[in-house]
């Protein structure tokens, strides 16, 4: 994984942040300490550092969140209806930039946006510092399973290499139909093996959209991470734990968002009345999956929302769903979007924790999410790479 670009922070200026409650992103709580930042990086945790530039005492300070699965260019069009992702009109471009902005303001400092080549120029503009937004990693075009029509193993390998050449940071693979259409497998084991093996050869991770049988097949193929995972059996989840495959389930936001915006989605491609009828059932299956996954020893469950139009900037609702509806421990939920999320991206040495040498991606919540998970809605401070984008902490 390439080094995260250093933004043009003014001559490595030094800042000190004071915190009374600091979650380090790895599951530890530090009290009454200070974070020292130089340029884009954290250089020390030192309770005696002075002078204090940002007094965040009384808040909960933690690393910026990592959302492993969004669709940052997915928007509603001029008619107010679902316009899907990757639009190229000026309106679509501004709407995507707005999605990036509201995502950052919500405390998400890194996303994986998986599904559109339109993510690449947005990724690059943000990396250059000319647009505000979360750091973006993207898959460019996904490999969409269409049975034998998808291609021979050699054709699939060529497709993977093409995405790498186009600038993909990872490969997204659809190995199942939408769960709204039943979720049947759309790639054979042989095709999946070719895709995941070629990605590995190219040094790219693979994220596989998979339900039911496809979960096991993708795990056996050696993919990095399973997206969704609905209707995976406990045996499938144990196999994932044994092979070190990450699971990125969605406990609620994505379906809640569809139901909330039903009029905007219904009748647009892929969104039928039958599909909407299936969603309530899928939501309960997803709750059940997260509950079971939490009990599988060694299974690494990361945070990913699958944010589409209507959900950008509301990413943190997924934490509330996990804790409230699935019984996930609040600290586990936080770590899933911090150090564990960074590990799944291969970026543990750069983001996801508050520690010397890492990027200064730091947020603060008004409230303590370990006591009241709804505090994740109250992000009052956002720093990414040493630059403060939001600071609406209480004025004393
Ligand atoms: Zn998705």
* Phi and psi at residue 22, to the nearest 5°: -125, 120
* Phi-psi map region of 367: left, alpha, beta (phi>0 left; psi -120 to 50 alpha): left
Distances (CA, A) of 352 to 96, 342, 371: 25, 5, 21
Distance 367 CA to ligand 1 centre (A): 30
Distance 17 CA to ligand 1 centre (A): 36
> Tokens 């997204």 sit at which residue?
172
> What is the Cα gyration radius of the chain?
20
Distance 166 CA to ligand 1 centre (A): 20
Residue 389 contacts residue 100 (beta carbons within 8 Å): no
- Taking alpha carbons only, the member of 134, 115, 117 closest to residue 125 is 134
Q: What's the rounded Cα separation, in Å, for the pair 300 and 321? A: 18
Q: What's the rounded Cα separation, in Å, for the pair 105 and 98? A: 10
> Tokens 């401070």 sit at which residue?
381
Distance 41 CA to ligand 1 centre (A): 31
E strands in 149-264: 170-174, 205-210, 225-228, 246-248
Distance 52 CA to ligand 1 centre (A): 41
Distance 114 CA to ligand 1 centre (A): 7
Q: Say what the pTM is.
A: 0.96
111-166: pLDDT as tens digits: 999 989 999 999 999 999 999 999 999 999 999 999 999 999 999 999 999 999 99
Distance 28 CA to ligand 1 centre (A): 31
Residue 34: partners with Cβ closer than 8 Å, 6 or more residues away: 16, 17, 18, 19, 45, 46, 47, 48, 49, 50, 52
288-339: pLDDT as tens digits: 999 999 999 999 999 999 999 999 999 999 999 999 999 999 999 999 999 9
Distance 228 CA to ligand 1 centre (A): 9
Q: pLDDT 10s per residue in the chain (396 long)? A: 445 655 544 567 899 999 999 999 999 999 999 999 999 999 999 999 999 999 999 999 999 999 999 999 999 999 999 999 988 899 999 999 999 999 999 999 999 999 899 999 999 999 999 999 999 999 999 999 999 999 999 999 999 999 999 999 999 999 999 887 888 999 999 999 999 999 999 999 999 999 999 999 999 999 999 999 999 999 999 999 999 999 999 999 999 999 999 999 999 999 999 999 999 899 999 999 999 999 999 999 999 999 999 999 999 999 999 999 999 999 999 999 999 999 999 999 999 999 999 999 999 999 999 999 999 999 999 999 999 999 997 655
Residue 282: how many CA atoms within 13 Å on its side-chain side?
A: 26
């Amino acid at each position: 994984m390439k080094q995260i670009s250093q933004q043009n922070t003014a001559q490595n200026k030094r800042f000190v942040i004071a915190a009374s409650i600091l979650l380090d992103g790895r599951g530890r709580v530090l009290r009454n300490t200070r974070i020292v930042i130089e340029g884009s990086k954290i250089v020390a945790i030192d309770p005696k550092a002075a002078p204090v530039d940002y007094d965040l005492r009384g808040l909960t300070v933690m690393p910026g969140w990592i959302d492993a699965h969004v669709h940052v260019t997915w928007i509603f069009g001029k008619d107010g209806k679902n316009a899907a992702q990757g639009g190229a009109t000026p309106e679509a471009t501004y709407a995507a930039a707005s999605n990036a902005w509201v995502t950052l303001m919500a405390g998400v400092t890194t996303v994986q946006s998986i599904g559109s080549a339109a993510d690449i120029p947005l990724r690059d503009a943000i990396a250059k510092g000319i647009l505000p937004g979360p750091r973006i990693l993207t898959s460019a075009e996904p490999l969409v399973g269409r049975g034998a029509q998808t291609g021979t193993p050699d054709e699939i390998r060529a497709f993977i290499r093409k995405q790498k050449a186009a600038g993909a940071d990872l490969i997204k693979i659809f190995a199942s139909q939408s769960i709204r259409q039943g979720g049947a497998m759309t790639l054979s084991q042989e095709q999946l093996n070719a895709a995941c093996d070629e990605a590995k050869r190219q040094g790219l991770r693979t994220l596989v959209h998979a339900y039911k049988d496809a979960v096991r097949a993708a795990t056996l193929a050696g993919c990095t991470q399973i997206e969704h995972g609905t209707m995976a059996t406990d045996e499938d989840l144990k196999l994932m734990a044994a092979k070190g495959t990450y699971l990125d389930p969605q406990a609620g936001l994505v379906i809640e968002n569809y139901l909330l915006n039903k009029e905007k989605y219904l009748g647009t491609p892929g969104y039928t009345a039958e599909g909407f009828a299936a969603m309530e059932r899928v939501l309960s299956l997803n709750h059940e999956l997260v509950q079971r996954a939490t009990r599988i020893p060694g299974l690494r469950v990361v945070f990913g929302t699958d944010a589409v139009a209507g959900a950008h900037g509301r990413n943190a609702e997924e934490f509330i769903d996990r804790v409230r509806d699935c019984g996930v421990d609040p600290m586990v939920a936080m770590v899933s979007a911090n150090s564990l999320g960074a590990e799944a991206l291969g970026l543990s040495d750069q983001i996801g924790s508050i520690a010397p040498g890492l990027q200064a991606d730091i947020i603060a919540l008004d409230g303590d999410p370990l006591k009241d998970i709804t505090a994740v809605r109250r992000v009052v401070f956002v720093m990414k790479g040493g630059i403060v984008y939001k600071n609406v902490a209480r004025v004393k």
